[in-house]
A and B are shown apart, each in its own frame.
Chain A
Amino acid sequence: MSSWLKSLIIGIVVIALLYVLNGMMSKGGFFGAGIDDYTARLLVFIAINIILATSLNLINGFTGQFSIGHAGFMAVGAYSSAYFTVNYGKQLESAFSFLGETGASSIILIIAIVIGAIVAAIAGAIVGIPSLRLKGDYLAIVTLGFAEIIRIVILNIDAVGGATGYQVPGYANFLWIGIFAVITIVVVHNIVKSDAGRALVSIREDELAAEAMGVNTTRYKVTSFVISSAFAGIAGVLFAHYNKFLSTNDFQFIKSFEIIIMIVLGGMGSMTGAVVGAIVVTLLPELLRQLPAIQVGASTFQFSDLRLVIFALILIFTMILRPQGIFGTAEIGNIYRRFRNKLGKPGGLE
C-alpha cells in the first residue's frame, strides 16, 4: 500500500474518531453514547496542550533554542482573535447563516484562527529577531521578559477586558480543536523530517559548525520561532473560543513552564514525547485529585492539594534520574521498528 494512501486512510479514521467523540460531547450524545462535561473538557485541554507542546518542541527540542515565553504568543493569538469575534462575530453569523449554525461557527472560527495565527506570528518575529542572537540562559530570560510584558500590556487594554476578563463567543468545539491538534502534529512532523528539519537539528547540535557549513542559522532560527509562535497563537484562539472567557491570569509564566514541563518530561526533540508529555501533564493533576485523602494527626490532607507539589517533585526527579525525558529523542516509529527487529521480523533499516 503506498504511503500516500496509508496517510489518507489514517487521516479519515482520525477525523471520523474526532467527529464521534465530538458528537458524544454534545447534549444528545452520539446516538445516545455521551461523554460528561468534565471528561470532555479534559480531552479538549489535552488537544490544546498537544498543539502547545508540539509547537514549542519545534523551537526548543529540535532547534535547541531555549524559549520560555510560549504563553505570551498563546495570549496574543487568544486576545487578537477574541477581539475580532467579539466585535464582528454577530455580523458574520448573519452573513454566513445560509450555512447553518455549525457551518457559520466553523467559518468564523477558521477566520479567527487565521487572524490569531498571523498576529502571533508577527509577535514571534518581533520577539525572535532581536532575541535569537542570544544564547542559552540569556535567551530564556529575554523570552520570559517579553511574555510578561505582553501579558501586562494586555492586562492594561480595557478594550479586551483588562483585569476583569473578557467574554468570548464559543465558536470552538472538540472536532475543530482535535483537527488542529492533528494539523499541528502533521505540519511539525513534516518540517522535522525535511531538509529544513535537519538544518534545525544541526543548529541545535553545534550552531557554529552549522553556520560554517553554510546553514543560514539566523533565518532558520527565526523561521522556526515564528512558526512555533503561530501555532501557539492557534492554541490560544481555540482556548479562548472554547473557554468562552479570557483572563491574563491564564497566561502567566507558570503556563509557559507547564508547556516546558510537557516537552521535558516527554523528551525534547521527540514528537511522540511532546504528545505524550502533553497528555501526561494534563492528566496528572486530575489523576492526583482522585486519590483519597490521608489522615495525619488531627489534619486531613487531600492529595489534590498536594498535587502541584507532587507535580513539581516529579519534574525535579525526572531531571535527576532521566534528564532526557521518557522518549529522549526517539520516536514511536523507531521504537516499533527496533522491537520488530528484535523479534526477528523484517521491519526496516537497522
Chain B
Amino acid sequence: MDTFVQQLINGLTIGSIYALIALGYTMVYGILRLINFAHGDIYMVGAYAGYLLAIYLGFDANPSIFGFIVVLLGAMLVAALIGMAIERFAYRPVRKFSRMTTLITAIGMSLFIEYLFVFIFSGTPRSFPQLLQNDNYTIFGNATISTSQILIFAVSILLMVALQYIIFRTKIGKAMRAVSFNLNSAKLMGVNTDFVIAFTFALGSALAAAGGVLTAQYNPKIEPLMGIITGLKAFVAAVLGGIGNIPGAVLGGLLIGAAETLVVGYGSYIGIPSTYRDAVAFAILILVLLIRPAGLLGTNVQEKV
C-alpha cells in the first residue's frame, strides 16, 4: 500500500495532464460558449504526432533531451494547426446556428477523428518511444518520483505560466478576454475576432498535445481511443474549476487527479472498489452541476430576462 504522499504525487501527476487538457476546454468555452467535444481527441492526436515525429526523426534510436523537446514542440505545432483547421472548417460554418447544432457538430468531429485514427493506425496500441532515461528518485522518506513524473510537473508548470503571461500581459490575450465577455463589442473595439478564435483553438490544442506527449512518456501505450475518457475527465475538471475560468481549469484538473487516485488507493477502506475509478470524475461532475454549477472559481452570470 503506497503512502499518502505517493498517492498524492501520482494523483497530481495525472492531475497536471487533466489540467493541460482542461485549459483548452475552458478557453474555447469562454470565447465561443462551445463544448469542444473533439478536444480530448486532440490529446490523442498530439501523442500520435509525437510518436510519428520521434520515429521519423530517429529519436527512438537515439534518445536525448533535445529529441524530447523537438518531439514535444513538433506535436504541439501539429495539434495547433489541426485545431485551427477544425475550427475553420467545421465550427465556424455552424457558429450562427443553435447551441445544439454546434454541440452535435463537435460530437461529430470527435467521432470523425477517433474513427479516422482507428482506420489509419488500427485499434492496436502502439508504444511511444522512450526519449528520456527514466529514473526513480526517493523523496519524502519512502515515496518515489520518476523522471517522467518530474517532466510532467515541470513542463506543465512552464506551459501554464506561459499561458498566464499570454492571456494577461499581451495584446492578443486582452483581445481573447474581450471576446469572451462580449463578441460584438470586441469587434467594435477593432478586434479581429475570427483571428482571436483561431488563436485560442491553436493554444488549447497545443496544450492538449503537450499533455499527450507527456503522458506517453509516462505510460508508453497509445491508442486511438485514449482521448475519450481522459478528455471527458478533463472536461469535468474544467467544469469543476468553473468553465471559462483559467486558474479554475488548473485547480479542477489537479483536484480530479488527486481525488481519483486517492479513491483508488483508499477507497477499499470505505467500500468503494478501485474499479470505480472512472466514476469518481462523473460523480464530481454531477455534484458540481447540481450544487454549484458555476464551479469553484467561476462567476455566476445571471441570465437577464
Contact = CB atoms under 8 A, between A and B. Distances in A.
Contacts, number: 107
B1 interface: no
A341 interface: no
Interface stretch (B60-68, B128-136, B270-278): B270-278
A108 B119 CA distance: 43
B116 interface: yes
A110 interface: no
B115 interface: yes
A308 B60 CA distance: 32
A148 B279 contact: yes
Contacts of A156: 273, 275-276
Contacts of A319: 94, 97, 101-102, 104-105, 108
Contacts of A311: 111, 115
The prevalent SS among residues of A at the interface is: helix
B289 to A, nearest CB: 5
Contacts of B118: 308
Interface in A124-156: 130-131, 134, 136-138, 140-142, 144-146, 148-149, 152-153, 155-156
B98 interface: yes
Interface in A278-327: 305-306, 308-309, 311-313, 315-316, 319-320, 323
A260 B101 CA distance: 11
A309 B119 contact: yes
A33 interface: no
Contacts of B109: 312, 316
Contacts of A208: 305
Contact of B103 (A134, A140, A153): A140
A309 B107 contact: no
Given A148-B278, A320-B90, A142 B99 contact: no
B94 A323 contact: yes
Contacts of B239: 141
A149 B282 contact: yes
Interface string A251-273: 00010010011001000100000
A60 to B, nearest CB: 8
Nearest to B92: A320
Interface string B28-68: 00000101000000000000000000000000000000000
Contacts of B276: 152, 156
Contact of B105 (A144, A155, A254, A316): A316
A45 interface: no
Contacts of B278: 148, 152
Contact of A312 (B103, B111, B232, B236): B111
Contacts of A171: none
Contacts of B103: 66, 137, 140
Contacts of B235: 141
A316 B112 contact: yes
Nearest to B291: A130
Given A141-B239, A315-B104, A323 B98 contact: yes
A260 B33 CA distance: 20
A87 to B, nearest CB: 23
B289 A323 contact: no
Given A148-B279, A156-B276, A319-B105, A142 B112 contact: no
B157 interface: no
B283 interface: yes
A130 B105 contact: no
B111 A141 contact: no
Contact of B107 (A131, A153, A257, A323): A257
A312 B108 contact: yes
B286 interface: yes
Given A309-B119, A320-B105, A66 B100 contact: yes
Given A149-B286, A257-B107, A306 B119 contact: yes
Nearest to A139: B289
Given A66-B103, A323-B94, A323-B101, A138 B289 contact: yes
Contacts of B93: 320
B35 A137 contact: yes
Contacts of A140: 35, 103
A141 B273 CA distance: 25
Interface in B112-126: 112, 115-116, 118-119
Contact of A260 (B94, B104, B273, B290): B104
Contacts of B108: 261, 312-313, 315-316, 319
27 contacts: A137-B33, A141-B235, A141-B285, A141-B289, A142-B286, A142-B290, A145-B283, A145-B286, A145-B289, A146-B282, A148-B282, A152-B282, A153-B279, A261-B108, A268-B100, A308-B111, A309-B112, A311-B115, A312-B109, A312-B112, A312-B115, A316-B90, A316-B109, A316-B112, A319-B101, A319-B105, A320-B90
Interface of A: 66, 130-131, 134, 136-138, 140-142, 144-146, 148-149, 152-153, 155-156, 208, 254, 257, 260-261, 264, 268, 305-306, 308-309, 311-313, 315-316, 319-320, 323
Given A308-B115, A312-B112, 19 more contacts: A131-B290, A134-B289, A136-B99, A138-B289, A140-B35, A141-B235, A141-B239, A148-B278, A156-B276, A257-B111, A305-B119, A309-B119, A312-B108, A312-B111, A315-B105, A316-B112, A319-B97, A320-B94, A323-B97
Counting from the closest, the 3 A-B pairs by CB-CB distance are A315-B108, A312-B112, A312-B111
